[in-house]
Amino acid sequence: MLGNGSTQRGHALLISMIFILTAALVMAGISLFSNGSVHMTVKRGEALKAFHVAEGVLQKVHGDLNVLYITQGGATQEQLDDLAPLSPELSALPEFAPYRVEDEDGRPGLSVKAASSELFGPLEGGAFRGLLAQQRDFDIDVAVVHAQNDGTAEMQKSRRYAYARVFERLRAQAIPLAQFFAFYDNDLEILPGPVMVAEGRIHTNRNLYFGSGNTLSINAGMTAVGKMYHYRKDGSAMANGDVLVMNGDGQYISMRDGGQWLDNDSANWAEEVVNRYDSLVQSQDHGVPQLRLPINLTENPHEVVERSSPDDSPELAQAKFHNKAGLAIIDGVGYAPDGSVVPLTYPNPSNPSQTKSIISTKTWFDYRENRTVSAVEVNIGNLIESGRAPANGVLYVSKSGSTNGTTFDAVRLTNGAQLPPGGLTVATDNPLYIKGNYITTNKTRELVAADAFNILSNNWSDGNTTYSSRNATNTTINAVVMMGNTETVPAPTTAGWRTACASRRNGPAKR
């Protein structure tokens, strides 16, 4: 992710998922140093413990590498050389205290080296085969010895009687989000009423519920760390439209299985889904690993779109879009990264005696929320024309003060068919509306991050908000969308379930 003052452009913020794949683990050796058979059993046990300590060091390196990818987007050799074999907390534990991370000659026992340059290309195997990824291999070498002086001259000299060494080649893979139709951390429901074509991979780190009222076509496969089911999560009636998934030969194949549906309730699920879709559909039965966004996992992910605060931890402050922004618009006032005010009005180039504005205030009624929207509207065309588009391509917008039982604050983007030349990432802690086409000229896929996401068609009019007053027209949005969600869960005090909001069947909404 970008830090403050970065000159990288907005399109560089197309966030990637990071996961570490262990390709090979080799036990280089376990040695016993013994001065007699009486203690051999104990020493064998200590050698096995030494091996487990070495494995623990490997796991710590995994975590350290993951943090480097999350916070820095990669790892330099200098950063790898600075990795500590054990944290002070671990070193103080009784089971770790007798061991030293060093080799038989007393030299440092941890080595982490980049084994390849960074490569960008398709993954050749695994659950995410075919997706493009940035990949790099790392070699990790760990040696651990047990230090003990048992009084003999030999042990006084070596001070060691157990030794273990392990070697691992680790592959780090960063998969750009732009390849995904939907990526969810929680349970995902894809249950469209009309015809839908899902262009891009579908992935959830939990369970996937799918179905269709007409025809759902999935052209790049789907993966779930949990299970896959052909029904609604709340168990209510499911429409019987077809679900088609493209196989490795480019053919759409139905997920019908005779008179039933092929899902995790099917006895032949694990084998049949692999044969039918060439491993492009996989669930927990196939060992699908989790994908993680490069967000500090100790924090609530929603916090990255919230306003900055003096109370933020350094890690959270670094992750927040507000702190990355080249231009932040807070309650109608523009701010540069140094805190200076940026005017949001400018002379009309065609008539300098007139003033044009980058932002305006708009209201309309949202029947889905059954409340009035009070929005700050950002005119992207005017932002470009004014010459005040953020230099690093990151715009943060936040509005407060109007949310109550009948009204809520929001942000709306308009006139965004074309973005600034270097791209534009837009983030807000409010619900975000995009009105009309977005990035349809000089198309790229830029990031929009918001509390919630809604599309208003080219035919939208604030004064005609009832469904009967206008019909939505074809509207194109080219963007990677990161938004909050509300999971479908049992109601806390009554029978039944809360309305599903964390699903593709009712969000994002198009009007």
Encode pLDDT of 229-256 as tens digits. 999 888 776 778 999 999 999 999 999 9
3-state class (DSSP) for residue 287: coil
Mean pLDDT (the chain, rounded): 81
Is the Cβ–Cβ distance between 28 and 167 less than 8 Å?
A: yes
Q: Which tops the pLDDT comparison, 418 or 44?
A: 418
What is the pLDDT averaged over residues 357-364?
97
Residues 91 and 194 in one domain: no
Residue 294 — pLDDT band, cuts 50, 70, 90? low
Residue that is last in its domain, among 142, 176, 210: 176
Verify that 415 and 349 share a domain, yes or no: yes
Q: Calculate the alpha carbon distances from 172 to 69, 79, 116 in Å.
A: 9, 15, 11
**Better pLDDT: 421 or 396:** 396
452 & 386 share domain? yes
Q: Report strand pairing: 242-246 vs 215-218.
A: parallel
Per the structure, the count of domains in the chain is 3
Residue 129 sits in the same domain as residue 259 = no
| CA dihedral of 208, 213, 219, 221, whole degrees rounded to 10 | 20
- Note the pLDDT tens digit of each residue in 126-168: 888 888 888 888 999 998 887 663 444 454 444 456 778 888 8
| Cβ proximity of 409 and 375 under 8 Å | yes
Chain centroid, CA 463 distance in Å: 37
Pairing mode, strands 110-114 and 160-176: unpaired
pLDDT class of 125 with cuts at 50, 70, 90: confident
The pLDDT value recorded for residue 50 is 82
Question: Residue 6 pLDDT > 50, yes or no?
Answer: no
62: closest CA among 18, 104, 27?
Answer: 18
pLDDT at 104: 77
Domain end position, chosen among 176, 195, 214? 176
Can you tell me the distance from the alpha carbon of 425 to that of 359, in angstroms, rounded to the nearest whole number? 17
Q: What separation in angstroms does the CA of 107 have from each of 32, 78, 164?
A: 18, 19, 14
Q: What is the pLDDT of residue 72?
A: 75
pLDDT at 217 over 70: yes
Are residue 130 and residue 237 in the same domain, yes or no? no
Spatial distance between the Cα atoms of 136 and 172, rounded to a whole number of angstroms: 5
Note whether 343 and 201 are same-domain residues: no
500 and 403 in one domain?
A: yes
DSSP state for residue 395 in the 8-state scheme: E
Residue 25 lies in a domain: yes
Q: What pTM value is reported for the model?
A: 0.73
Q: Give the separation between CA 216 and CA 383, rounded to whole angstroms.
A: 38
Same domain for 192 and 155, yes or no, is no
Share of the chain above pLDDT 70, in %: 78
pLDDT at 309: 94
pLDDT at 33: 38
Q: Are residues 345 and 420 part of one domain?
A: yes
Domain residues for 196?
A: 186-286
- Of the candidates 152, 176, 200, which is a domain's last residue? 176
In a domain, 125, yes or no: yes
On whether both 444 and 501 belong to a single domain, the answer is yes
The pLDDT assigned to 295 comes to 63
Q: Does 307 reside within a domain?
A: no
| Residue at 347 is within a domain | yes
* Residues 261, 226 share a domain: yes
Half-sphere exposure of 412 (CA within 13 A, CB side): 22
